[in-house]
Structures are given as C-alpha cells and as structure tokens.
Amino acid sequence: MILFAVMARLSLATRNRIKKRKLVLVVMFWLDMLHIVSMFFQLLCFIVEYRVRKRSLKATCGHDFHSRRGEIHRLCYESDETCINQLRMNRNAFTRLCGMLERMGGLKDTKHMLVDEQVAMFLHTLAHHAKNRVIKHHFRRSGETVSRYFNDVLHAIIRLQGELFKKPEPVPENSSDERWKWFKNCLGALDGTYIRVRVPLEDKPRYRNRKGEIATNVLGVCSQDMQFIYVLPGWEGSAADGRVLRNAISRRNGLRVPHGYYYLVDAGYTNGEGFLAPYRGQRYHLNDWRDGQQPRTPEEFFNMKHSSARNVIERCFGLLKIRWAILRSPSFFPIKTQNRIIMACCLLHNFIRRMMPVDPVEEELDNDEQLAEGINGDPITHIETSNEWSAWRTNLANEMFNSWRNRREI
C-alpha cells in the first residue's frame, strides 16, 4: 500500500524515466549475455581449429621425420662405400663414434634430432667443406638448426681428447722397423703446418706467413703409426716453428717429453735435449737419395735415416688435409671455432685410424699395435743446445754409418 501510494505521488514523467532505465538495464543484460555466448563460440571454434591444425602438423612432421630418417639411412647405413665417401668412415666406425659421443662427449638425442643425424651433418661439413646453406638443403633443416648442432658436436668431440689422442710409445730396443730401429726411445716426430683461415682485417698482418697466405701455424706431434699425440692450433702464421714448440712445452697441459726420450724434428728447430734434429748443410730430403745416390759421410747417412723416419709427420698432415676438405681452404667460422675444428679433425683422424681396418685415404697401412710401456719422469720444459746432446747425435751417426758400411762390404 505504501509503495503504491509513493508511485501514485510520482509524476508521469518520473515514472516514464524509471521504466526506460529498467528497459535499458534489461537490454544491457541481454547484450552481455549475447557477448558471453559469442565469446564461448569463438573459443570453441579456436579449440576445434587448433586441434585440426595440430593433427595436420603431426602428419606433416611425421612425414618429414620419416623422410629425413630415410635420407640418414641412405647416407650412413646403406653401404660402407657411401658412408666413406660422404662421412670419411665406414658404417661400423660411424656407429661407434655416435656411441662414444653419447657416452663420453655429452651428446644427446633431442626432441627434433637424433644423435646420428647431428654427427652426420658435422662430418659431412668437415669432409666436403659444405656451407651452411648446402647442409640446410641436404638435411632439410633450418640454418640456425644446422649451426647449433654443428657446435654441439664440435664441443662433444673436443671433450674426447683424453681418449682419442695417442699415448706416446718409445721405439723398443729390439725394433726391426728399418725406419725406426736406430732411434731407440724415440716417441715419434713433430712439425708445423699452415692451415689457411679467415681473420678480421686488423689481424691479417699477424697471420700472414712467409708464403703470403693468411694462415694459422699448427704444431702436430705424431707417433710411428701416424696417430696424433699432441696438436697445438691457433698460433699466427707469422710465428716461427721454434717459438710455437717452446710455447707447447711450457704450457700447463702442453707437450710432455720425459728425460731420456725424444722426438724427431726438422732443421728449423733447435737440436737440443728431447728434440733430435738433422745436420744442417748436408743432404737431407728423401728426394736427395733417389737415382741410386748413396751417403758418403756419417752425417749424410744419419740425415737419410732421420728423414725416412721423420717423414711420418708429413704424411700424417697430408692424410689429414686429404681427408677433411675444410682444412684445405679458409672457412667462414670465427677463428676460435676454426682452431677447434682443426683439433676435431686431428682427433677424428686418430679415431678412423683405430677403428677402420683399411684407411680409405692411405694405400699402405702400418698395423703395428704393440702396447706402450709407461713413460714417467720429469718432463723437459725448455730447449737448448748442449755439447752432450750434440755428442750423442755424433756417436749415433757414426754407429749408424759404420754398421751400414760393414753390411755393404760383406
């Protein structure tokens, strides 16, 4: 009664305004409800579209995955010939390398790529010096993916240094190898080689070697069976070989030469304890002894035998560059990455020499697998000429020459 009484006292205009306000509120309510329903249907359509696209993407990815796996199978597992031509190792060696990189190098399968594809891309790049865009097309991957996995595999291989570098084995007293039998306790041979690189413009003068090439001076030390014992990449091409060697033996984890043992070096190095050099001013290179020419002095005979044995490091570098095309021309990687690539190529060279019964790059093999005896003692940390070392070389040269001459007279 009170409400009707109040309404009765309201004017007609006021009552109309109240009715209009109520009507507006009702309309706004239903508009909000319509908007909510519209949003619901939009969300429903989005979910349906997402599921359809996801199924389509799965089908596409599944097709790409199987297509890629088919290509990897053809490249790596179909035949030894194809695997060697493309990756420089046979199927067994490739499988073993992938397993070693997983167990010891930290390489893992990812959601998008298995280990064998990662390793295959890496080896194909080294073997053929293939550019990123070529690998991208060949393996149907993005350029960023190719680059990322290349570096992952590179770091994994570098972690295998302790496993893949050869442990030095001295020439035994009873050696019958004509090249090495005179060099008792010799651990191998060393030399430097130039590998061309790309560096910033301001660094080119330091990397320019005596041949005018922009290169890094790489010290390599190898055993009698052509496996690398130690490698030091990174020095500028203008650095002298002797300077690089002095740096190598002074490093914390550098080249170690125990007292009583030595490496064969060429005439560009100092003839000092731990490093046996040839006589200067005498015939030395193997070409000097062709056409039936014979040594006339102990010094010449020593140089001939020295050259025959030390030639192993030159052959080692030759095989390395034949095997990996990326070492035969400058690459576009940063200089630090280029140095790591050189190290990885040397480690892979050792791996192939161990795992493959026939080295595809070499016709003749050295299958001597004698076990190395432990080599202990304080290492040599500097090189200097000494009368004692020179006298030892002279005595060795005389002994070698006299033995050879006596055999000829019999």
Token output for 366: 């050295």
Q: Which of 20-24, 33-37, 330-334, 378-382 has the lowest mean pLDDT?
A: 378-382
DSSP 8-state symbol, 289: G
Q: What is the pLDDT of residue 325?
A: 95
Residues 156 and 90: their CA atoms lie apart, in Å, by: 20
Q: What is the pLDDT of residue 409?
A: 62
* Residue 292 amino acid letter: G
How many Cα atoms are found within 13 Å in the side-chain-facing hemisphere of 157?
Answer: 28
Q: What is the average pLDDT across 162-172? A: 96
Q: Model confidence over 271-283: pLDDT tens digits?
A: 999 999 999 887 7
Q: Return d(Cα 204, Cα 389) in angstroms, integer.
A: 39
Rg of the chain over CA atoms, in angstroms? 36
What is the per-residue pLDDT for 345? 98
pLDDT value at 96 more than 80: yes
The residue among 374, 383, 407, 404 whose CA lies nearest residue 182 is: 404
At residue 377, does pLDDT exceed 50? Answer: no
For residue 376, CA distances in Å to 201, 256, 405 come to 45, 10, 36
CA 358, 305, 221, 260: dihedral to nearest 10 degrees?
Answer: 120
State the average pLDDT for the chain: 85
CA–CA gap between residue 67 and residue 395 (Å, rounded)? 68
Is the pLDDT assigned to residue 54 strictly greater than 80? no
Secondary structure element (H or E) that encloses residue 29, with its range: helix 12-72
Q: What is the pLDDT of residues 229-238, one digit of tens each?
A: 999 999 999 9
Token code pair at residue 380: 């040599």
Assess whether pLDDT exceeds 70 at residue 172.
yes
SS3 letters across 327-338: HCCCCCCCHHHH
Q: Residue 3 above 50 pLDDT?
A: no
Cβ atoms 168, 176 nearer than 8 A? no
Residue 60's SS3 state is helix
Residue 170: alpha-carbon gap to chain centroid: 27
Q: For 99-127, how does the pLDDT look when each residue is reduced to its tens digit (9 = 90+)?
A: 999 999 999 999 889 999 999 999 999 99
Number of other residues whose CB lies within 10 A of the CB of residue 159: 15
Q: What angle do CA 335, 340, 345 make, to 5 degrees?
A: 125
Helix (H, G, I), strand (E, B) or coil at 195: strand
Share of the chain above pLDDT 90, in %: 56
pLDDT top residue among 75 and 3? 75
**Residue 29: pLDDT band by 50, 70, 90 thresholds?**
confident
Closest Cα partner for 375 from 140, 170, 190?
170
For residues 188 and 226, give the distance between their C-alpha atoms in angstroms, rounded to a whole number. Answer: 9
Q: Please name the residue ranges forming H helices in 201-297.
A: 204-207, 241-250
Strands 215-222 and 275-276: unpaired
Strands in 262-264's sheet, in edge-to-edge order, are 228-236, 215-222, 186-196, 262-264, 275-276
Confirm if 13 and 19 have CB atoms less than 8 A apart: no
Which of 49-53, 240-244, 316-320 has the least mean pLDDT?
Answer: 49-53
Give me the mean pLDDT over the 194-210 stretch: 95
- When mean pLDDT is compared across 11-20, 138-147, 168-177, the lowest value belongs to 11-20
| Strands 228-236 and 262-264, sheet pairing | unpaired
> What pLDDT does 394 receive?
84
Q: What is the pLDDT of residue 275?
A: 95
Residues 271 and 277: beta-carbon distance below 8 Å: yes
d(CA 329, CA 198): 9
